[in-house]
Structure 1
C-alpha cells in the first residue's frame, strides 16, 4: 500500500465512489492526496477525509504554495503551507477559530491529548502587532500539546502597564529629529529583561509573549530584510524561488540607536501603523500581507521606500506614473490582504502602489466598526488592477452561523452513546467513540469550511476559492476564480 502523497491537478477533480462512478468529494488544485492502492490508470485514494477513486491523470506531483485566510471573525489569521511542506501562521484572530481550523485540518482531538499523540510542527508564527484580534488566538495555540513553533516573530512594540497610558510602549526620544518609540524589544534577551522589570504586569500581550517562550521570540523590522530561511536567494526543493521580505515596520537609526516614529497622539496609532508587513514572492508572483496599517503608516512607508513624497493630486499623469513605478517595485503585489479589515483609515496612494488583481478582507460579525467600510470597498475596486479586480471577504463568504450550536437532539444522542459505552464490546466501543467524535466536531467543521478564502499557486497561476454553503449540481462544492499571467501581469481569467 503506497502512502506517498500526490496532489490534485488544476482540472475539475472529484473523488468518485467507483471507477467511472459518481462524485463524492470535490478537490481543489493542490489538495494533498494519499494513494491507498495503485491500479494503473485509477487510484484508490483518501483526501479531505473521504475515500474513493480518482484517475491518475487528475493528479500532479507538485505541491503548491498555499495561503489560507481563515475566518477568525473580527481579526486576521492566515495559515501558510510552503511548497516544501513547511507550515506557518501570520496572526491567529482573537478567539478559538484558528485552533478549531487547525484541529479540522490535521484531524486533532482538542482537549484529549492522551488519545491523540499527533504533533504538528510550525516553521514560524508572526504576530503582526499587539492588537488582540490578531494575537489572541495564539494563547490556545501555544498551550496546545499538538502544536509547536520553531520561531515566533513580533513587531518590537510591546505594550505594558505604566503610570501614564502614553508611555505604554516604553521610552520615547528623538531620532533624526523625529519623535520615536525607543524601547524596541528585538532579541530574546530584550524580552527577558522586560519581563523581569514588570513581574506583576498581567497585560495580555506581554503574558502571551512570556507563554510563547522568550528564547524563541524575535522582534523584527525592515532592517532584518527577510525572514530567516526565506532570503532573496532561497529556492524550494523544486527549484523555484520563494522569499519572504519584511517591508515594515521601518525603524529610524541614529548613532546605533533604533526607534519607530510616533505616528499619532495615541499609542494605538503607532501600534497598528507599525504592524509587520510581509511580501511573499513565489516564482513570478507577489503576495502582500499587512496587519493594521493606517494612513500615517502607509504615507511613512511610501516615503521611506521611494525616498520622495507622493506627487500632489494635480500632478501630471507622467509624474504619477513615474512615482508609482518606483512605489510598485517595493509594494506592488498580485494578491493583497487588505490592511485593518477594510477600515476607512487608508491611503489611496498606497492602494495604487499595491495595484493588486485580488484583495482579501478579513472581518467578522458583531463588531462596532462596520468593516469593511463602503468607501474602502469602492476605493479598492477603483485602484486595483484590470477591468474586473476581485475583492474577497471572509465575512461575506459565510452567511451561516460562525459556530453551529449543537442541538438538544445531538446532546441527547451523545448522552445515550456514553451510557452505552461501559457495557459495549471492543468493536462497538470504537464505533461509539467515533460517533461521539463526529457529534462533538460539528462546531469545528463550520469554522473550518465556511468563510475561509484559500489561495493556491505554482508561481505562475493562482486559484482563489471559497466553500459554497450549498453544493451545486454535479457535486460542485467550491466557488473558484482563476488568475494567470499575461504579458508578465497576473489577471483574472474570464
Structure 2
C-alpha cells in the first residue's frame, strides 16, 4: 500500500528505471508523492507525467517512477522523502495568466488560498491539473478565495473554474467548494445607463464628501446581496458562480481593510500568519469610506520620488485608479521569510503605505514581493524601498495589442534592483518563464480572414509560466521550469545568524 509523502530536498529527478534511465520529471521540495517502497538504492513512487497531445493539450498520465540518489549527492533514499504528516513546507506558486494576476498558497497542513485568477481559462486549467480527480460529489475544498480588487484581469478567470465543470474533457474539469471569499468591498457598476456613459464618480457606488475629498461609502460585504443592476458584466458572472458554490457550502464573505486581525484566524498558526495591510479606510459621515483617487501624472516618470508633491498628486476622479489603489495588500509570514502581495497598488496609494511604514504603523519589509499592477510605471520608489525585496515577481503578459501596456516598465524593473537589500536580487516575470515552440507557417482556412491576414507563423506552448516558491521559514527555494524538462532555473536562500537571507546551494538529487 502506498504512503503519502512529500519531497524533502530542493529538487529530485524521477526516472522510469531504477538505474537512473529514462528521465521522467523533476519534483520540488514539498511536492506530494505516493511512495510504494523505499530500498537501499531507490524510492519507488507513483508519479504523474504531463504529455502533450497532437492538438497541443496536456494530458496527465500516472506512471511508476524511481528517485535514485547518486552516491556523490550524499543522500540516502530514505532522506529524500518524509511522511506528509511531518511536512513543514509552505508552497506559493505564481501562475502566468497573461495580463492579469493569479497565485496559489498551500500550507504544510493542506490549507488552500487562491489569490485572484486572471481573466481567461489559464488559471482554471492550471488548477484542474494541480487538483485532479474532483467531481460534483467530491469537490476540492478551498479555504479562501481572495480577490485583491474588482478589475476583470484579476477575477474574471475565477468563474471559468465553475464553467470548467461542464467541459467535455474530464481532465479540464474542476469542482471546488470555497469556504470564504474576501475582497476590498468595491463593486463596479455598469459603464452605461440609458445608453449614456456613466460618469467616473458614479461607477463605484455611493459617495460622500469630506472636506475637499470624495469618498466611496457604499462598500459591500456579501456579494450575493448586491443587486444585479449594481454590477457590471464580470461581477454578474462572478455572482452567478458564487451563488452556485454557496449551495454547496455557505460562503463567508468579508471586506478586508488595514488592521483586520480576525480574517485569517482560520489560517494563522504559530509563525505562519497573514497580516492585512490595506486598503486604508477612513470614517466619513459615520460610514467606512475609501478615498476616490484621480488620474495619475502622465508617465513614465524617472526619479519621481524627487519631484515636488504637487507633481505627484493625482488630478480629477478616476474609477480605475481608485479601484487599483485600494487593492487588498497583505503580508504572508512564515518564520524568517515574508511575502508581500499588492494587487494593482499604484503610486498614490503605495505612498500612503510607505508613510505608515516609516511611522512604524505597518512593516512592509518582505523577502518575496508580488509586484503591483504587472510592472506599471505608476509606482512609488519609497514603497519598494520599504519592502527591500530579495525576490520580486511581476505577473504580466502581452497576449494582444488591446492588452499591451508595455509591462513591465524599465523604471519599475530598475527600482526593484536598486532598492533590494541584496547585491544580486532575483526578478521574475511570469510571461518570461513560459516557453513556446515554433511549429510551422500556417495558412488561414477562413477565406475572409485569409484575405486580411494571410499566412502566419504558428507556435505551441512548450511550458506554462510558473514561478514556484517553497519555504519552511528557515530556508527559501525559488525555481521555474523550461521547455527542456531536465532544465530548471533554481535559487535558494537560508537565514544567517542575524536572521538575514543569504544565498545557499540548491540541492538536486
Q: Are 1:260 and 2:290 matched, yes or no?
A: yes
Q: 1:457 aligns with which of 448, 468, 471?
A: 471
After superposition, the Cα gap between the structure-2 partners of 1:105 and 1:266, relative to the gap in structure 1 and judged at 3 Å, is: same
TM superposition shift of 1:278: 1.2
TM superposition shift of 1:298: 0.6
- What runs of 5+ residues in structure 2 fail to find an aligned partner? 50-62, 68-76, 166-174, 295-316, 444-458
Cα pair 1:176 1:254 within 8 Å, conserved: no
Cα pair 1:7 1:32 within 8 Å, conserved: yes
Q: Aligned equivalents of 2:425 and 2:330: distance in 1?
A: 22
- What runs of 5+ residues in structure 1 fail to find an aligned partner? 308-325, 409-442
For residues 186-335 of structure 1, what are the structure 2 equivalents within 5 Å? 186=221, 188=222, 191-195=223-227, 198=229, 203-213=233-243, 216=251, 217-230=253-266, 234-235=268-269, 240-254=270-284, 256-264=286-294, 265-304=317-356, 306-307=358-359, 326=360, 330-335=363-368
Q: Are 1:156 and 2:195 matched, yes or no?
A: no
Q: Aligned equivalents of 1:138 and 1:450: distance in 2?
A: 18
For residues 134-149 of structure 1, what are the structure 2 equivalents within 5 Å? 134-145=154-165, 146-149=175-178
TM superposition shift of 1:39: 4.0
Q: Are 1:392 and 2:417 matched, yes or no?
A: no
Q: Are 1:340 and 2:365 matched, yes or no?
A: no
TM superposition shift of 1:469: 1.5
Q: Partner residue of 1:310? A: none
Summarize deviations over 1:345-392 as a string: whole Å, max 9, x none: 000000000101010001012332011111111111111121101101
Q: Aligned equivalents of 2:41 and 2:418: distance in 1?
A: 48
Q: 1:82 aligns with which of 97, 104, 107?
A: 107
TM superposition shift of 1:12: 4.7
Q: Partner residue of 1:182? A: 217
Summarize deviations over 1:318-362 as a string: whole Å, max 9, x none: xxxxxxxx47x5111010100000000000000000101010001
TM-score between both structures, scaled by the size of structure 2: 0.75
Please report the RMSD computed on the Cα atoms of aligned residues, expressed in angstroms. Answer: 2.8
Q: Partner residue of 1:312? A: none
After superposition, the Cα gap between the structure-2 partners of 1:202 and 1:261, relative to the gap in structure 1 and judged at 3 Å, is: closer
TM superposition shift of 1:68: 0.6
Cα pair 2:433 2:480 within 8 Å, conserved: yes
Q: Partner residue of 1:484? A: 494
Q: Partner residue of 1:373? A: 409
Cα pair 1:175 1:259 within 8 Å, conserved: no
Q: Are 1:45 and 2:45 matched, yes or no?
A: yes
Richer in helix (by share): 1
Cα pair 1:124 1:151 within 8 Å, conserved: yes
Q: Aligned equivalents of 2:181 and 2:416: distance in 1?
A: 31
TM superposition shift of 1:16: 2.8
TM superposition shift of 1:27: 1.6
Aligned residue pairs, count: 416
Q: Partner residue of 1:169? A: 204
Q: Aligned equivalents of 1:453 and 1:255: distance in 2?
A: 45
Cα pair 2:33 2:45 within 8 Å, conserved: yes
TM superposition shift of 1:60: 3.0
Q: Are 1:493 and 2:504 matched, yes or no?
A: yes
TM superposition shift of 1:20: 4.0
Cα pair 2:96 2:102 within 8 Å, conserved: yes
Cα pair 1:226 1:244 within 8 Å, conserved: no
Q: 2:91 aligns with which of 63, 66, 70?
A: 66
Cα pair 1:338 1:359 within 8 Å, conserved: yes
After superposition, the Cα gap between the structure-2 partners of 1:275 and 1:138, relative to the gap in structure 1 and judged at 3 Å, is: same
After superposition, the Cα gap between the structure-2 partners of 1:11 and 1:349, relative to the gap in structure 1 and judged at 3 Å, is: closer
Q: Aligned equivalents of 2:347 and 2:355: distance in 1?
A: 12
TM-score between both structures, scaled by the size of structure 1: 0.77
Q: Aligned equivalents of 1:220 and 1:7: distance in 2?
A: 34
* Secondary structure of the structure 1 residue equivalent to 2:43: strand
TM superposition shift of 1:451: 1.3
Q: Aligned equivalents of 1:138 and 1:59: distance in 2?
A: 34
